[in-house]
Homo-oligomer: A and B are copies of this chain.
């Protein structure tokens, strides 16, 4: 670990920090990409801290994976606004809002159709693999009108023209 200052560049990029786009080749139980138009940048990953700080950004209309896992997330919205599914709730989120995501809590972030959504995420460096919802779990979520509306805007690439 060395003393380093990494200047911020325009458009939420940083000197010496790689931008990792997620490949949209994983499909959910309904045949849709499990995430869309999202990139990850690992801002800090220092073994002595045991935690990482990552910056995720969804382009307008993008979304993160709907998932749950043993490890927790501490999230700060950093740019733009959008919606967040957190457990059984859907909430509007905007810049600087704080989101605590405990173990085994379903969560997903979605940018609005016309604006990107970026967030910082503090997480343990050692963590378990996320679980995706099964078709049954997704169907159960969709019985809630708010969650159904949140999950609805996705085009289904398997059936759309």
Which residues of A are interface residues toward B (Cβ below 8 A)? 1-8, 12, 14, 17, 43-44, 46, 48-51, 53, 71-72, 74, 76-77, 84, 86-87, 89, 91, 93-103, 105, 120, 122-124
Contacts and interface: CB of A to CB of B under 8 A. Distances in A.
A54 to B, nearest CB: 11
Contacts of A43: 74, 76, 98
A95 B5 CA distance: 12
Tell me if A's interface is mostly helix, strand, loop or mixed.
strand
A3 B49 contact: no
Number of copies: 2
B46 A72 contact: yes
A8 B97 contact: yes
A103 B48 contact: yes
A96 B50 contact: no
26 contacts: A1-B72, A1-B102, A1-B103, A3-B87, A3-B101, A3-B102, A4-B100, A5-B100, A6-B98, A6-B100, A8-B77, A8-B95, A12-B96, A14-B96, A17-B98, A43-B76, A43-B98, A44-B122, A46-B72, A46-B100, A48-B103, A49-B51, A50-B50, A53-B76, A120-B120, A122-B122
Given A17-B98, A51-B122, A53-B76, 8 more contacts: A5-B86, A44-B98, A49-B74, A49-B122, A50-B50, A51-B51, A53-B74, A76-B120
